[in-house]
Amino acid sequence: MSKGFASNFRLFLIAAVIGSCLTGVGVRLVFLHVINRAEHLDRIDKVRRQIIVENARRGDIVDANGHLLATSRSLIVLGVDPQTLRPEDEAKWPRLATLLNRPLPELRTIFLTKTRPESTPPAAVAAARDAEPSAPPLVFNFTPGAAVPSTTAPVDDTVVDEETDENGRRPIRWAKLSEGVEESVYEQIEQLGIKGVYGTRVYRRAYPNNTLAAHIVGYVNKAGEPASGVEAYADFYLRGQNGWRESERDGRRRELAQFRTREVKPVDGFHVKLSIDTVVQHKVEEELEHIVKDFAPAKATIIVSDARTGFVLGLGNYPSFDLNDFGRAPLDVQRNVAITDQLDPGSTFKIVAAAGALNDGLVTPGDRFDCSLVSIEYRGKPRRFMPDDHHYDHLLTVSEIISRSSNIGAAQLGMKLGEQRLYDYARAFGFGEKSGFPFGGEISGQLNTPDKWSGLEITRIPAGYSISATPLQIHYGMATIASGGLLLRPQVIREISDSSGEVVYRFDTVSKRRVISERTALAMSRMLQGVVRKGEGTAVEAAIPGYEVAGKTGTAQKIINGRYSTKNHVGSFVGFFPASRPQLVITVIVDDPRVPKEKGGIGYGRVVAAPSFKRLGEQLKQYLDIKPVDYSAGTRLVAMEGGRR
């Protein structure tokens, strides 16, 4: 054979090798495109086709004058993909640490930790309670036909690959560097050009006034869930709707914008305008501080509302908490005790028996009763009265029963009504039922039906015992007289507006029912003015010079270890002004005050609550420009008839 040609063996060997290669390629292609086709397409989908969520901005909560009570700050959650870091960028790490206000060794540890053990959950599902929703970049594998994933579930601080490397460890694809970087700082970080360091925009809730109106506004917790107050009640309006886009990413996890196939823009939440006035609220909370300083109570509540509409202008509780630091506040401090706690209303409840008896025509303001009695026969049985604090040497008129706060007189008015009518009026005034206040946690108080009353209840309930009520129920019971006999629904939300400021819904005054006639309400208003008159009533301390004030004190013994205590009381004052044309209703309730001996040592309503009513009234009449109105029946009736809604 010529030397220019290969031997047959060599030709056969070369052909065999080429044939084997082609066969291997063919077999591999069969496996890729036929046998394992679905698996590989799914893997490609996971790498390339993804849903990227864009967060919506939560709406603002503002007061009646547009001042911010809650808002959303735009921040950047900064993270790093350790797999894509470049050695040449290491010189920039100290500057990054300075911008993030983190120690450089701590930052280096995060950068150089590139894997986790195989046992680590692959997609950040186990996660910390305090993690922000959307802290890692919100990127989800896309499956055609599947729903867009929710972004409200808490997530872990790191994201790792689903598959392990050759050492059986999972590569880290995202690790958090900072939860909240300001936009201006993020711009400086971007200018550093550190490959693999990137951020995701999130919105964090902020409360500019810290503790102001904490129990009204409520807060959004670190998991992004509204926890209380307006934040929870109006969440449907506030939360907005997240947007999303379907797109692709390259091998370096960068989005390829040219391959976007679908995109839904986020819709920002609506804004909620309250009836709360920050100036009124501030004065309420200042007065609570005054009460705490003077009497160190266990709890205290002050409520201010518009007598004409029922809208709440201010509501504060002690103790309170900082909305920006809610994690430090125990749950019992976060509770809105104005609607969640109940107490014996005491003498503030006497308006129910008196108004009912007047409204049914059973008595007139001038009718007289013997209030020196120890007991009286009722329905064939002797009934023993609760004693009065004072003894009277003459018969008391119905007006004096109210102004002097006689337990014995109130019981006789209740007997005039009878058990069923007394119960009916108590329910009509809002006791024993939820008020309709738009927050969760409200209780209905306790008012038993007459078939469950003992023989003594007819002498106790008219004086405000054997019945329990929330501070808000007590407030709106008195507000019923101020409104001319209508029980108004307590409300705190005035308007809902979209992100452009256009009002989409406005809340109006809601009357739940007529309780007493306007004429009866006028008569009650006259009698309640006697409470603050010198030498006539129990709360001269509540009088506002130059203004007609109508109101009622309350002092109820607390039940301690199953018995009424002579040392522990709830002192209150509930009233409104100007009496002939009511504009403001103010309630002050002080639970278990510590009264110095020089002030009597007992938490009477006139001592612990009436002075606060006066101080608040004097400040608010100036701020709200409330003019004094001369009292006359004609003025009051004309005002009612002309302004009736």
- How do the domains of the chain map onto residue ranges? 51-274, 278-325+337-643
Do 84 and 160 form a contact (C-beta atoms < 8 A)? no
Dihedral angle, C-alpha 134, 137, 142, 145, nearest 10 °:
30
Residue 376, strand partner residues: 383
Rounded Cα distance, 89 and 195, in Å: 7
**β-pair type (299-306, 312-318):** antiparallel
Least Cα distance to 134 among 174, 107, 102 occurs for 174
pLDDT, residue 33, reads: 64
pLDDT tens column, 121-164: 544 433 333 334 444 543 333 333 333 333 333 345 677 777 77
Output the pLDDT for position 270: 96
Distances in whole angstroms, Cα of residue 21 to Cα of each of 11, 107, 297: 15, 49, 90
Distance in angstroms (rounded) separating the CA atoms of residues 160 and 164: 9
Q: Report d(CA 631, CA 237) in Å as an integer.
A: 44
- Exposure of 49 by Cβ count < 10 A (0-12 exposed, 13-18 middle, 19+ buried)? middle
State the pLDDT at residue 478: 98
Backbone angles phi, psi at 420, to 5 degrees: -65, -45
User: CA-CA distance, 344 to 470, in Å (whole number)?
Assistant: 9
Q: Which amino acid is at 89?
A: D
pTM reported for the whole predicted model: 0.80
DSSP 3-state of 310: coil
Fold topology of 278-325+337-643:
Beta-lactamase (3.40.710)
Instruction: Give the CA dihedral 485, 489, 494, 496, nearest 10 degrees.
Output: -150
User: Sign of the CA dihedral 528, 533, 535, 539?
Assistant: positive
Exposure b/e, 97-109, CB count within 10 A at least 16 = b: bebbeeeeeebee
CA distance 358 to 516: 9
Alpha-carbon gap, residue 220 to 235, rounded angstroms: 10
Q: Give the whole-angstrom CA distance, residue 133 versus residue 241.
A: 14
Neighbours of 257 (CB within 10 A): 9
Rounded distance between C-alpha atoms, residue 373 and residue 360, angstroms: 25
Q: What is the DSSP string of 563-603?
A: EEEEEEEEEEEEEEESTTS--EEEEEEEES----GGGTSS-
d(CA 540, CA 542) in angstroms, rounded, equals 5
Side chain identity at residue 370, one-letter code = D
CA distance 107 to 99: 12
Among 129, 342, 358, which residue's Cα sits nearest to residue 224?
129
Label residue 181 left, alpha or beta by phi (over 0 means left) and psi (-120 to 50 means alpha): beta
pLDDT score, position 555: 93
- Give the tens place of pLDDT for each residue, 11-30: 777 777 787 777 777 776 66
Residue 20: predicted pLDDT: 76
Whether the CB-CB separation of 554 and 605 falls below 8 Å is answered with: yes
CA 619 to CA 614: how far, in whole Å? 9
Does domain 51-274 match CATH 3.40.50.300? Answer: no
Which residues, given as ranges, of the chain have pLDDT below 70? 1-6, 28-52, 118-157, 247-262, 630-645
How far apart CA 378 and CA 297 sit, in angstroms, is 39
> In this structure, which amino acid lies at residue 200?
T
What gap in Å lies between CA 406 and CA 10, rounded to an integer? 125
Mention every residue, 6+ apart, whose C-beta is less than 8 A from residue 641: 518
The length of the chain, given as a count of residues = 645
Burial of 553 (0-12, 13-18, 19+ CB in 10 A): buried
Residue matched to tokens 């300083």: 293
Q: Quick check: 577 and 617 in contact, CB under 8 A?
A: yes
H runs (alpha helix) in 136-227: 183-192, 214-217
User: Of 378, 375, 373, 413, whose CA–CA distance to 392 is shortest?
Assistant: 373
Residue 367, judged by CB atoms within 10 A of its CB (0-12, 13-18, 19+), counts as middle
Angle at 538 between CA 532 and CA 539, to 5 degrees: 45
* Cα–chain center distance at 626: 30
